[in-house]
Amino acid sequence: MDTFVEHFHDRQDVERMQYEPFGRTGLKVSKVSFGTGTFSQLYGDLDEAEALEAVKLAAKRGINYFDTAPFYGQGRSEEVLGKALRQIPRQAYYVATKVGRYEREFERMFDYGAAKTRESVERSLKLLGVDYIDVVQIHDVEFAPDLDTVVRETLPTLEALRAEGKLRYIGVSAYPLDVLKEIISRAPGRFDTVLSYCRNTLFDDALKGYIPFFEANKLAIICASGHGMGLLTNGGPQPWHPSDQQMKLVCREAADYCARKGVELGKLAMHHCIQMTGPATFLAGMQTTALVDINLDAYFNGLSEKESEVLAYLKERVFSKISNTHWEGVELKAYWTAMKEAKL
């Protein structure tokens, strides 16, 4: 296995971990991968020391793919991840970041222009403390003024940076699956990876219908956030979560049921998510060693009889109540409304 490092890794876990071909890149990535959206104010206060330990533990136990973005804490996530990666052999991991989404204020949140794209990658290299980034993804392309901007400016800039040796592979992410299909169709053969989030969960299986298209385009499929950005955890989502009230109430009912049974809903959600065939890796946000252990337990050991019974009950009696299985358009509407008001 290309990323195995003697005297660093826990050999037993690495031998148990499945490493999947990453599209046409030639890389092999761990079936479970590490997301760092949680290394930011998006998910409350961060215990940096604990986050650093979580990254090191994950790497030692065989996770070799780490994902971040400038938007996560406006550089904080990249900075913290970079501190952790400096303590891990470079051979042991692949690191991915993003361009296009940056600030919290709507007026400065997105910029898909060539100059900003180059500036962003240069800053990410410094914060991450690496000579090159394995994957740079164009972040949430549904927010671009139009997809032509992405094809004419963002993508060629990343291709130029790749030619300079600053990145290896180029990817794209979005919440609406039809937007992913459209941008990939507009730039055939130019993307290496595709990241879809919250579309393979206990309440939404929409990703399944797009797997054949992504595979036909030889893309590495990254299936992110099987926990629904916190909805499918005992702790519940953050106040900003864009889902409707009915979905939040149903997920709260599921979390309360799990708590009464002494079960972690997040483990059930992770187990359910990783059953899908097609994705190379399943990306989960983890900011503590406890979360690393829970997610790897779901992968390595599966569910106990009790956990399986709770999951079956939730699927049949609770999640079946959800009437609207996604929040597509909610964030877009809020963004464009705010932009319109800012111009008045």
Domains for the chain: give ranges and CATH numbers: 11-342 (3.20.20.100)
Distance CA 58, CA 67 (A): 13
For the stretch 291-314, pLDDT in tens is: 999 999 999 999 999 999 999 999
Which is it for strands 19-21 and 28-30: parallel, antiparallel or unpaired? antiparallel
Residue 226, CA distances (Å) to 15, 58, 156, 204 in order: 24, 18, 31, 10
- Block residue for tokens 């359910």: 272
Cross-strand bridge partners of residue 109: none
CA distance 221 to 322: 27
**Torsion of the alpha carbons at 214, 114, 71 and 232, rounded to the nearest 10:** -10
Q: Mind listing the pLDDT tens digit for each residue in 244-283?
A: 999 999 999 999 999 999 999 999 999 999 999 999 999 9
Reply yes or no on whether the pLDDT at 216 is more than 90.
yes
* pLDDT confidence of residue 69: 98
Amino acid letter, 324: N
CA angle 289, 295, 300 (to 5 degrees): 115
In this predicted structure, which of 37-51, 55-69, 138-152, 320-334 has the lowest mean pLDDT?
A: 37-51
- pTM, full prediction: 0.98
Q: Which residues are bridge partners to 194 per DSSP?
A: 172, 221
- Which residues fall within 8 angstroms of residue 12, CB to CB, at 6 or more apart? none
Residue carrying the six token digits 């890796």: 281
Would you name the residues annotated as active-site residues? 72
Residues whose CB is less than 8 angstroms from the CB of residue 283 and which lie 6 or more positions away in sequence, other chains included = 33, 34, 35, 65, 67, 195, 197, 222, 223, 224, 225
Share the mean pLDDT of the chain.
97
Residue 344 is predicted with a pLDDT of 54
pLDDT at 303: 98
